[in-house]
Copies of this chain bind each other. A is one copy, B any other.
Amino acid sequence: MMKSISVGLLGLGTVGCGVVTILHNHQDKLMHQVGCPIKVKRVLVQDLHKDRMVKVDSSLLTTNVDDVIEDPEIDVVIEVMGGVEETRQHVLSSLRNKKHVVTANKDLMALYGPELLAVASENGCDLFYEASVAGGIPILRGLVDGLASDRITKMMGIVNGTTNFILTKMSKYGSAYDDVLKEAQELGYAEADPTADVEGLDAARKMAILATLGYSMNIDLQDVRVQGISSVTSEDINYSKRLGYTLKLIGMAHREGEKVEVSVQPTLLPDSHPLAGVNDEYNAVYVYGEAVGETMFYGPGAGSLPTATAIVSDLVGVMKNMRLGVNGRSAVSPQYDKKLKVNAEIYSKYFLRIHVKDQVGAFAKITSLFSERGVSFEKILQLPLKDRDDLAEIVLVTHKASLQDYEEILVKLRDMQVIQEVKSSYRVEGGGVA
C-alpha cells in the first residue's frame, strides 16, 4: 500500500484550479478508488501573487519548472499550462525523470503525440490525454476500451464548442455571424482572437488525435483538410433548414478499406441525424462501428470543471496502474501505416448556392457542366433575388460526387459568364432526408 501520491501541476489557470478543486472536494471517493491520498506537492505558476479561484498554500507555488519536474518525490505531472514547444520540453523531461504525465493539451498531442507516447513507453510511464478531446466526454476511453473489438469506419465530431454555439444561435435566431461572434466573445465562449476556433484549427487538432486512435494510424495535423465557419451566412442556414438539414461544423474521419480521409468543414446534416440535435456549446462524437452500428458520446467540450474531471479521471487511471505496477504498458503503437485518400477517392454530396444572371439558357449551361462529369442533382431550388431583378438565386444539392470532380466544377463555375457569384459550398452528409 502506497502512503500517498504526490502530484505536480504545470499551470494554475482555470483548468488547473478545477483540478485542485476536484482533488479537494472528492478526496473520499478518490481515496476509496485508489487506496491512498493524493497530495498536490508543487505548482508551477507565472505570477506568485496573482489572485486565484482556489486557495493553494503559497509555499507550494513556484516559478521554476525544475521544482516540479526534477522533484524526485513527485509521481505524476499534470500539464495544464498550454503552449507547444516549451511545454513539449517539460513533458519530455518529466517522462525521462520517470514521472507519469496527464495533459489536456490538444495542440501538443496533435503535433507531438506519437513522439511523446514513445518516450513515455520507453520510460515505463503513462501519458494520458483524455481531456485533450471533447473536454468532459470520455470519448478516448470509449474508442480504446469500449469499442476495442469493433472495426470503426466513421467518426464525426462536433468538437469545438465556440463554433457550435455560434451556429446554434445563428440557426435559432436568424442572426448574422458577426453579431453572434461578438455575443460569444462577451459571454467568454470565444477568445478575443477567435481564429483557431472559427477557422476550424482547434477542431482539426482534435480530429487528428481521434483518427490516430480510432484507426490505429499516425494522422498528422496537416493531413486534415480544414474549412472554418467565418463565411457561413444566415442565408446558408435558412436554405439548409428549408431542405431539412442542420448546418454544423463537423470533423469527419472516414475509413474505407485501408484508406482514411480526415477533414473539418461546415456540413449539412439531415435533421434526423443524432449530431443535428447537439446544440449550444455542447460537443459530441458520433462513432460508427461495423458491428456496433451508431453510437454517440455527448457532453461539455470545454469548461474548467469538465476538463478537470477528465484530467483527474486520467490521474486515477495512472494511480490504479501504479498500484498494479503496470504503468507505461497500456499504449498500443499504431497498427497500420498511414494511407490517405486522394481527392478522386473522396465521395460526398454537396450544397451549392450561386447567384446567376437572369438570361435564357443560364440554368442549362450550369447543369451541363455538372452532367459532363456525371454529377446529378438531388435537390434544386431557384428563387428570385430580393432587390435584384437581373439575378436569380439557385441552391443545389448534388448526388454523390468525387471531391476532384466537384472542385473542377467549382473552378469552371466561377469562370462562367452567366454566374455572378458562387456564394457558398458545403459538404452534405447522410441519406435521402427531405
Q: Which of B25, B142, B299 contacts A138 (CB 8 A)?
A: B142
On chain B, the residues within 8 Å of A299 by CB distance are 292-296
- Cα A294 to Cα B301 in complex, Å, equals 11
A72 at the interface (CB under 8 A from B): no
On chain B, the residues within 8 Å of A150 by CB distance are 22, 26, 309, 312-313
On chain B, the residues within 8 Å of A310 by CB distance are 146, 292
On chain B, the residues within 8 Å of A274 by CB distance are 277, 298
- Cα A293 to Cα B136 in complex, Å, equals 8
A184 at the interface (CB under 8 A from B): no
With contact pairs A147-B138, A150-B26 given, residues A308 and B291 touching in the complex (Cβ less than 8 Å): yes
- Cα A315 to Cα B148 in complex, Å, equals 10
On chain B, the residues within 8 Å of A26 by CB distance are 149-151
Are B149's CB and A316's CB within 8 A?
yes
On chain B, the residues within 8 Å of A277 by CB distance are 274, 277
Most chain B beta-carbon neighbours within 10 Å: one of A289, A295, A310: A295
On chain B, the residues within 8 Å of A18 by CB distance are 291
A392 → chain B closest CB, angstroms: 36
State how many copies of this chain the complex holds: 2
A339 at the interface (CB under 8 A from B): no
- Cα A122 to Cα B97 in complex, Å, equals 37
On chain B, the residues within 8 Å of A28 by CB distance are 335
- Cα A51 to Cα B171 in complex, Å, equals 54
Q: Which of B25, B141, B305, B329 contacts A142 (CB 8 A)?
A: B141
With contact pairs A291-B305, A300-B292, A309-B289 given, residues A316 and B148 touching in the complex (Cβ less than 8 Å): yes
How does the 8 Å CB contact mask read for A303-330 relative to B, with 1 for contact and 0 for none? Answer: 1011011101101110010001010011
A297 at the interface (CB under 8 A from B): yes
A33 at the interface (CB under 8 A from B): yes
Which B residue's beta carbon lies closest to that of A152? Answer: B29
Are A138's CB and B145's CB within 8 A?
yes
Using a CB-CB cutoff of 8 Å, which residues 108-129 of chain A contact chain B?
Answer: none
How does the 8 Å CB contact mask read for A84-112 relative to B, with 1 for contact and 0 for none? Answer: 00000000000000000000000000000
Are B298's CB and A298's CB within 8 A?
yes
Interface CB pairs A-B, < 8 A, 30: A18-B291, A21-B291, A25-B290, A28-B335, A29-B216, A30-B149, A32-B216, A136-B293, A138-B145, A142-B146, A142-B297, A145-B145, A145-B316, A145-B317, A148-B312, A149-B312, A274-B277, A289-B309, A291-B306, A292-B309, A292-B310, A293-B303, A293-B306, A294-B299, A294-B300, A296-B296, A296-B297, A297-B298, A324-B324, A324-B329
